[in-house]
């Protein structure tokens, strides 16, 4: 399956998600739309776990099970609408899948699981250079730094 070139306009055209799902043989559901809406309304660089998605939907008055959320996430990852990230041990996060031009990297707190994005062109340049030198074609370059966030540092002191 090729990367989905229509992602940036999904929020601008509500019927687009339905079209993408139907084209690939999946049903459009209001739950899938609501999950995608959460990602599109989140602050740039915000990653969501299945638990956070359920909590936010419950806060909006939506009743949705974890199994429904996981199925929807799996479909959206398969369709390249979302990217699955395993940034902390045993914790999966999801983010909107962005074009290769929007490379970013992650800082992960090993204590609380907080994730912050950062841009650093040098990391992407190193990835491109190493890929080329070894005969690879670069598809994606992510760098993950594990540490303890300032909030957790103050709790642990």
Q: 91-96 and 82-88 as β-strands: parallel, antiparallel, unpaired?
A: antiparallel
Which segment, 15-19, 24-28, 142-146, 152-156, is predicted with the most confidence on average?
A: 152-156
Is the model's pTM score more than 0.75? no
- Token pair, residue 124, equals 């992407």
Q: 56-92, pLDDT tens digit by residue? A: 999 999 999 999 999 999 999 998 888 888 876 677 8
Q: What is the DSSP string of 129-151?
A: HHHHHTT--------EEEE--HH
| pLDDT over threshold 70, residue 5 | no
**DSSP tag of 81:** S
* Cα–Cα–Cα angle for 152, 155, 156, rounded to 5 degrees: 85
- What local confidence, expressed as pLDDT, does residue 19 receive? 85
Average pLDDT for residues 88-116, to the nearest whole number? Answer: 76
- Token pair, residue 65, equals 């099970």
Contact 100, 139 (CB under 8 A): yes
- What local confidence, expressed as pLDDT, does residue 95 receive? 83
Domains of the chain with CATH codes: 1-99 (1.10.10.10), 100-157 (3.30.1490.190)
| pLDDT over threshold 70, residue 47 | yes
| pLDDT over threshold 50, residue 49 | yes
């Amino acid at each position: 399956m090729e990367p989905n070139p229509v992602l940036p306009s999904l929020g601008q055209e509500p019927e687009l998600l339905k079209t993408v799902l139907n084209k690939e043989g999946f049903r459009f559901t209001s739950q899938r739309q609501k999950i995608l809406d959460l990602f599109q309304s989140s602050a740039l660089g915000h990653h969501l776990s299945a638990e956070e998605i359920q909590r936010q939907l419950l806060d909006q008055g939506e009743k949705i099970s974890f199994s429904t959320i996981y199925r929807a996430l799996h479909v959206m990852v398969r369709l390249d609408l979302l990217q699955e990230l395993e940034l902390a041990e045993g914790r999966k996060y999801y983010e909107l899948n962005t074009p290769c031009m929007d490379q970013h990297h992650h800082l992960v707190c090993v204590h609380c699981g907080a994730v912050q994005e950062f841009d650093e062109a040098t990391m992407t340049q190193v990835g491109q250079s190493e890929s080329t030198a070894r005969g690879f074609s670069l598809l994606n370059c992510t760098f993950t730094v594990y540490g303890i966030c300032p909030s957790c540092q103050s709790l642990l002191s």
